[in-house]
Copies of this chain bind each other. A is one copy, B any other.
Amino acid sequence: MKDEFDWIKSITPQHSFQKELVAGIGDDAALWSVNEHMDQVVCVDTMVEGVHFTRDTLSSYQVGFKALAVNISDVAAMGGIPQFYLVSIAISPDWNEEELKEIYEGMNELAKTHKMDLIGGDTVSTKGPLVLTVTVIGKVEKGRKLLRSYAKPDDIVFLTGTTGESAAGLDLLLLKTRHAVFTDNEKKWIHQHQMPIPHIEQGRILANSGYRISLNDVSDGIASELNEIAESSNVTIHIQRDKLPVSSSFAELQENGRLTHQLYGGEDYVLVGTASIEDFVKLTEAFQQHSLSLYEIGKVGEAGKTAVYLHKKNEEPELLAKKGFNHFRER
């Protein structure tokens, strides 16, 4: 999840006292050097009841699963391997012990997949809504070249999965609650919202390639994430409507309806980025070998200017604003 209070970024100090520090504030994860082979990576994300979820959108188990998933996704965007996590939870009186256990079980389920150890935390009470903060620590080989700021003109813009399902799922959940009856396609959207799978394996292939790659995980929608890459790299980015991958579960939808979700819907936690044309060809092979998807959706344009355009056949390119996914606020 991205900061909703941008001004805080401007006031937060960045000393760089520590010479081990490789990358500081700005990305969703920070890196520091720990030995000659590896950097350590850390990220923290908070989920608040009533802001990021309600009891109608997520079960207790899913609250835990998702809180860890969004953090692991930040590690994926650095090409890292998640190792440890810490859980700080502020508990309101209306959550019972059984529900709290389910939150931890949801985290544990995903942690097992990645062989991550729960190594600490804090448990406090609050009179307000439940607040769940997860810190994930991982590692990544030195010399990986994955940063938002690495995009260059003529790079291919890629996606590691389809987007939009999570937002479509959230729409349904807010309309009907998770206890309603849904079609098979609707169940897929809802599942994507409730239990997103972070793209660690994809991030690892990208990191291990050694190629210069710009990368973000899609927490706020690809329009917003690509704008971040464009800003950090100071380039324009052009994506093609007809190249955007469409989930099979969206097949019955009108294009305009699903396009908004695909561009602006957040919380799919696939990876979006850019690589040079030659490197992209080799990445495509590597992804195929692992039976993983890699979609070409556009190209980086010129340097020295920051913008993201959506191109449609026989139409003027459309400027894509940075507007992202604001959880329940806009709904």
Residues of A near any B CB (own CB < 8 A): 1, 3-5, 7-8, 11-18, 20-21, 24-25, 27-30, 32, 34-35, 38, 40, 42-48, 50-52, 83-84, 86-92, 97, 100-101, 104, 108, 111-112, 115-129, 131, 133, 135, 137
Would you mind naming 20 contact pairs between A and B with Cβ atoms under 8 Å apart? A3-B123, A4-B124, A5-B91, A8-B89, A16-B117, A17-B115, A18-B115, A24-B118, A25-B120, A42-B137, A43-B120, A44-B88, A45-B122, A46-B89, A48-B126, A52-B124, A88-B133, A126-B128, A128-B129, A137-B137
Given A40-B34, A121-B44, answer yes or no on A84-B18 (Cβ-Cβ < 8 Å).
Answer: yes
Asked if B30 and A104 sit within 8 Å, CB to CB, the answer is no
Given contacts A12-B87, A14-B118, A46-B124, 17 further A-B contacts (CB under 8 A): A3-B122, A8-B123, A12-B121, A18-B115, A21-B117, A24-B120, A29-B120, A30-B86, A32-B83, A34-B40, A42-B86, A48-B126, A50-B126, A51-B127, A86-B135, A90-B90, A131-B131
Asked if A135 and B42 sit within 8 Å, CB to CB, the answer is yes
Q: Which 5 A-B residue pairs are closest in the complex by CB-CB distance?
A: A128-B128, A30-B119, A17-B115, A34-B34, A35-B35
Q: Please name all residues of chain B whose beta carbon is closer than 8 Å to the beta carbon of A119 when the two chains form the complex.
A: 21, 24-25, 30, 32, 42
Q: Please name all residues of chain B whose beta carbon is closer than 8 Å to the beta carbon of A43 when the two chains form the complex.
A: 86, 120
Given A44-B135, A84-B30, A88-B133, answer yes or no on A25-B118 (Cβ-Cβ < 8 Å).
Answer: yes
Q: Please name all residues of chain B whose beta carbon is closer than 8 Å to the beta carbon of A34 when the two chains form the complex.
A: 34-35, 38, 40
Asked if B126 and A28 sit within 8 Å, CB to CB, the answer is no
CB distance from A298 to the nearest CB of B (A): 29
Q: Which of A32, A90, A133 lies at the interface centre, i.e. has the most chain B CB atoms within 10 A of its CB?
A: A133
Q: Please name all residues of chain B whose beta carbon is closer than 8 Å to the beta carbon of A108 when the two chains form the complex.
A: 13
Nearest-CB residue, chain B, relative to A9: B123
Q: Please name all residues of chain B whose beta carbon is closer than 8 Å to the beta carbon of A25 when the two chains form the complex.
A: 118-120
Q: Tell me, in angstroms, the Cα distance from A155 to B288 when the chains sit together.
A: 63
Q: Please name all residues of chain B whose beta carbon is closer than 8 Å to the beta carbon of A8 when the two chains form the complex.
A: 89, 100, 104, 123
Q: Which of A3, A15, A20, A128 lies at the interface centre, i.e. has the most chain B CB atoms within 10 A of its CB?
A: A128
Nearest-CB residue, chain B, relative to A100: B8
Asked if A116 and B15 sit within 8 Å, CB to CB, the answer is yes
Q: Tell me, in angstroms, the Cα distance from A24 to B44 when the chains sit together.
A: 19
Q: Please name all residues of chain B whose beta carbon is closer than 8 Å to the beta carbon of A38 when the two chains form the complex.
A: 34
